[in-house]
């Protein structure tokens, strides 16, 4: 099984925007374009049942639309109450035209964050 999942064409997602990509195997994925750099996390908020793709993206923070908890998109780190569990992140693969996620690999920012804190995110 390939662990590479198609997310969107590169030109579909403008900087500062995000979208949900349904995925039956790992659960829905949220893909973000932060100033021209793509990131992907689980779409489901870790606090309760909410789609982060329906939230507000400002700089590198996504605010959940239900209770307004926040996550740092590049690392998946929960930063604002009531979110306490970090988001799953996925490593991005960008080709000439398209954006993919490797669903078996964490984003490099998440791993660096885990190294810095001594605990996995
Ligand atoms: S469901 Fe996201 S903060 Fe509560």
Range in 13-27, 41-55, 83-97, 105-119 the model is least confident about: 105-119
How far is 31 from 44, CA to CA, in rounded Å?
12
d(CA 115, CA 111): 6
Residue 50 Cβ contacting ligand 1 at under 6 Å: yes
Intra-chain end-to-end CA distance of the chain, in Å: 26
Write the pLDDT tens digit of every residue in 19-35. 999 999 999 999 999 99
Q: What is the pLDDT of residue 103?
A: 93
- The pLDDT, as a whole number, for residue 100 is 97
What span, in angstroms and rounded, lies between the C-alpha atoms of 104 and 34?
Answer: 22
> Ligand 1 mean position to 17 CA, how many Å?
20
Q: How confident is the model at residue 54 (pLDDT cuts 50, 70, 90)?
A: very high
DSSP code of residue 22: -
Which domains does the chain possess?
A: 4-117 (2.102.10.10)
The pLDDT of residue 30 is 98
What residue owns the CA closest to ligand 1's atom 1? 48
């Amino acid at each position: 099984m390939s662990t590479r999942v198609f997310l969107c064409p590169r030109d579909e997602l403008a900087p500062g925007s995000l979208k949900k990509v349904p995925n039956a195997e790992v659960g829905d994925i949220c893909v973000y374009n932060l100033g021209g750099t793509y990131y992907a996390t689980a779409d489901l908020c870790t606090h309760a049942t909410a789609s982060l793709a329906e939230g507000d993206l400002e700089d590198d923070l996504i605010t959940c639309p239900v209770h307004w908890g926040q996550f740092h998109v590049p690392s998946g780190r929960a930063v604002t109450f009531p979110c306490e569990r970090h988001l799953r992140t996925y490593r991005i693969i960008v080709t000439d035209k398209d954006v993919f996620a490797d669903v078996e690999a964490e984003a490099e920012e998440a791993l660096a964050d885990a190294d810095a804190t001594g605990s996995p995110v």
